[in-house]
Structures are given as C-alpha cells and as structure tokens.
Amino acid sequence: MEIAHTGASGKLRALPTRLVNQVAILANRATDKALEDTGSRRYHFALMVTLDEFGPASQADLGRRTRIDRSDVVAALNDLADRGFVKRSPDPTDRRRNIISLTPAGADHLRDLDDRLAAAQDELLAGFSIAERAQLVLLLTRILEQHAPS
C-alpha cells in the first residue's frame, strides 16, 4: 500500500508517534464536531458508556475504568447529574461514597451520542474495509494495553 505524499518528509511520514498524533487531531475534531450541539463532550460519553456497559459504579471506579482524572470525573458527573443523565446514591456499604447510575434520560442521550459517534467513525475511516477497521482497533488496543499501568 502506497501512502499519498502529504508534503511531509519521508522521515516524518515514517514516525508512528507523529502519525498517531496527527490522526488523533483528526479524530478529536471529528468527535467534537459530532458532539457539538449535544451539550456533551468526550468525558460525558466515556462515563455514560461505561455506566451502561458495567452498571452503577463509584466515581473512583469510573475514573479507573475510563482513565479520566478524578477531578475531571467529578466535574463531568456534576454536569451529567445537573442534566438528569446520571444520579448519585449513597453506597449502602460505605456511606462516605456515592454510587453513580445512568438514568433513563441518560440512556436515551447515550443512544443519540452513539449514533453521532458511529457516523464520526465512518467519516474518519472512510475507505477502510471492515477488516481494516478491526485491524486498526486491534493494533491501537495493543499499544494501549502494553503501556497500561499495572
């Protein structure tokens, strides 16, 4: 497969770190565009999809699962709670912490975000086959897992 000349030197085009960074910029733009009129951001989506997939969780667990900094988790959850998308309930085993759960309104909002982000993936990866998309996800996941904190 030949890579189209983009004006960058061959040496720059051969650096995976630079290529991943350049693609991340495009991916962030596509995501931001998909979410722009929803009132939600990437952290909102990550928290809601994690709650949807794994069920109610503490703020600390959500931070670990999403790799979002604790202070950013709190700010995003405050926003989601104010909008009625999540609710906080005292943990029955430890009253000092809250358990966060997705509300029905949050589940509806998440479905909208899912649709929008699926379209953003299609836009970013236009021209890739289903197999190529799966291979890209596999390779990116391997990089993340290799560098994940133990």
- The whole-number pLDDT of residue 6 equals 61
- The whole-number pLDDT of residue 89 equals 94
Name the phi and psi angles at 55, rounded to 5: 90, -175
pLDDT tens profile 13-29: 889 999 999 999 999 99
pLDDT tens profile 45-67: 999 999 999 999 999 999 999 99
Tokens of residue 150, six digits: 């133990």
Q: Does residue 103 sit within a domain? A: yes
CATH classification of the domain holding 80 = 1.10.10.10
- The whole-number pLDDT of residue 68 equals 95
Q: Does residue 81 sit within a domain? A: yes
How many Å from the N-terminal Cα to the C-terminal Cα in the chain?
Answer: 36
Residues 30 and 118 sit within 8 Å (Cβ to Cβ): no
CA 74 to chain CA mean position, Å:
16
Domain that holds residue 107: 38-116
Distance separating alpha carbons of residues 139 and 59, to the nearest angstrom: 29
DSSP 52-91: HHH-SEEHHHHHHHHT--HHHHHHHHHHHHHTTSEEEEEE
- The whole-number pLDDT of residue 2 equals 44
- The whole-number pLDDT of residue 125 equals 97
Q: How many domains does the chain have?
A: 1
Residues 48 and 106 sit within 8 Å (Cβ to Cβ): yes
pTM summary value: 0.86
Q: Does residue 55 sit within a domain? A: yes
Q: Does residue 124 sit within a domain? A: no
Q: Does residue 112 sit within a domain? A: yes
Which stretches in the chain have pLDDT values below 70?
1-6, 150
- The whole-number pLDDT of residue 10 equals 84
